[in-house]
Amino acid sequence: MKFSGLRFLAVALCSLAVLAPATGEAKTRKKAHKHHVHKNYGNSHSGMASWYGHTGNRTANGERTNLGGLTAAHRTLPMGTRVRVTNTRNGRSVVVRINDRGPFIRGRVIDLTPAGARAIGMSGLAPVSLSVVN
């Protein structure tokens, strides 16, 4: 059987791709996990909060959006995580449960339901600090 130059090269590259992990030549690199927040101090961080008011949709974990519930959307925290959100303008805080993903607007760290926003005296955007509640 005759191999053309291009076909031989393709076979050789496929062989190297299969053998490389077995010989230890290919190393896996973990992608650095980045929080998209202004400040990150272990289990707490701060930035701008917003609120959302769309109803009838499903959240990322499959629940129906409950605008009267104390839930929130965060980009990276695990579903079900309880977070204390403190409005740094007035010191009011509320504990919410993460059940959705977002916000997807740069500079914002959390999206609250209207009930959560009211609880901390927020209208529109507000600077907040977040801390995970154990």
Which strand (E) or helix (H) includes residue 134? none
Where exactly are the structural domains of the chain?
Answer: 39-133
Domain at 39-133: CATH code: 2.40.40.10
pLDDT tens digit sequence for 59-106: 999 999 999 999 999 999 999 999 999 999 999 999 999 999 999 999
Residues contacting 51, CB < 8 A, separation 6+: 111, 112, 113, 114, 116, 117, 122
Is the pLDDT score of 126 beyond 70? yes
> What are phi and psi for residue 48, nearest 5 degrees?
-100, 140
Q: pTM for the complete prediction?
A: 0.68
- What confidence tens digit (pLDDT) does each residue in 5-27 have? 555 555 555 554 444 444 444 44
pLDDT in tens, 34-52: 433 344 445 778 999 999 8
> In this model, does residue 133 exceed pLDDT 70?
yes
